[in-house]
Amino acid sequence: MEKTIAVLPGDGIGPEIVREAKKVLVAIEKKFNHKFKFTEGTIGAHAIDICGEPFPNETHDLCMNTDAVLFGAIGDLKYDNDPKAKVRPEQGLLKMRKELGLYANLRPVMAIPGLIEKSPLKNHLIEGVDFMVVRELTGGIYFGEPRGRAEDGRKAFDSNVYTVDEIERISRKAFEFARNRNKKLTAVDKANVLATSRLWRETIQELHKEYKDVELEFMFVDNAAMQIIQNPKQFDVIVTENMFGDILTDEASVITGSIGLLPSASLGVHTSVYEPIHGSFPQATGQNIANPLATILSAAMLLEYSFGLFEEAKTIKEAVDKSLEAGIVTQDLSANNYYNTSEIGRWVSDYILGDL
C-alpha cells in the first residue's frame, strides 16, 4: 500500500520532533511492508521568512494532494514580542485549519501508568483516566467577524460566531465517538452567559434524539475546568467550542505529567492534520532536548484515522509505552536520567523493528 504524507515541520522544535515521528513511520513501513511517500512543506515563521506568508499556496496545494499531514509546531519569539506585527505565524495555523476544513480536533487524555508520579495531581484522582476531547476547530472567536481595534487603539473587539450546521457537524462526530466508547457525552459551554453557547445547547439537545443510547450531560466551562482536576474519571467524551477546547485540553495535560505526551488529530473535509498539542518551545530550538513522544503518538493517530492501519497504530503506542516503562524519557520527565530527542526516536523505532 502506498500513501502520501505532507510533512510540515514548522517552527522552533517542530523540525526536531517531526524528524523522530517520521523515523518511526519509516520503521512501520519496513515492519508491515507499506510505502509512505513524504513531501515536506513550509509553514509559520519559517514560511514568512521565505515568502512573506505563514501558509503559502504551495503548502496548501501540497496538503490538498496528500492523504494526510504530519505537522510540528508554529511560533517564534520575534513575533511574540512584537504586538504590532501585521503577519504572524499563528495566522498560518488558522488559515490551514480553515482552508483544509479541519473542523474536528481530537485530543485524547489519559493517565500513563508509569508516569502517574509525574503528575501534580494525587494518584487516586488520575489512575485509570481515559477520555477524549472533541473540539470544534474552524469557528468561534478565533475566526469570527467583525474583529479588530478602534482607530485610537484603545478598544479591541472579537466576534464569537457559530451556526447550527457547524455545531451539528462537530456534535455528531462526538456522539459517534461516545457511542463507540463508554456511551457518555459531556457538552461544555457557558449557556448562562453566551448566546452562542445557548445555540450549542439547543442544537445538541435536538441531535441527542438520534443518539438516545448515549448519556448526555451539560456542564458550564468553569465547572468543567474544576472537574477535570477534581474528578477526571467522570468523563468519557467531551465536546466543546474552539476556545474552550483549547484551554481545557492544555489544562488536562497535567494528568499525563507532561504536555509533551499529548497528541492530536484534526479531521477535515479535504484531508486531516496530526500534531502534538504543545507549542514550538522556541527556547529549546536546536538543542535536541524536546520530547518527541506526542508527535510520535500523533503519527499513530494518522495511521489509525487517515489510513485505517489499526495494528500499525497499536504497534507505535505499544513502543511508546515500553519506552516510558524503560525510563527512556526526555528531561521533562526525568531530571537526572534522561535521553535526548533523537535517542528517544531511535529507541522507539528500534523497538518496532525488534532491534533492541
- C-alpha cell of residue 59: 503548502
Kindly report the backbone phi and psi dihedral angles of residue 184, in degrees, each rounded to the nearest multiple of 5, phi listed first: -135, 130
Find the catalytic residue in 142, 211, 305, 339.
Answer: 142
What does the alpha-carbon distance between residue 279 and residue 299 come to, in Å, rounded to a whole number?
Answer: 17
Separation of alpha carbons 306 and 302, rounded Å: 5
Angle formed by the axes of helices 293-305 and 341-353, nearest 10°:
40
Residue 165 falls in the annotated catalytic set: no
The catalytic residue among 11, 246, 274, 332 is 246
**37 has catalytic annotation:** no
> E strand or H helix at 215, and its extent?
strand 215-220
Distance CA 211, CA 209 (A): 6
Q: Which of 79, 190, 211, 351 is catalytic?
A: 190
Clarify whether 190 is annotated catalytic.
yes
Residue type, 79: Y
**Separation of alpha carbons 166 and 144, rounded Å:** 13
Catalytic residue among 250, 317, 322, 350: 250
Q: Which of 49, 61, 82, 222 is catalytic?
A: 222
Q: Is 305 an annotated catalytic residue?
A: no
Among 277, 284, 293, 298, which residue's Cα sits nearest to residue 342? 293
Indicate if 250 belongs to the active site.
yes
Q: Which amino acid is at 315?
A: T
Residues belonging to the active site: 142, 190, 222, 246, 250
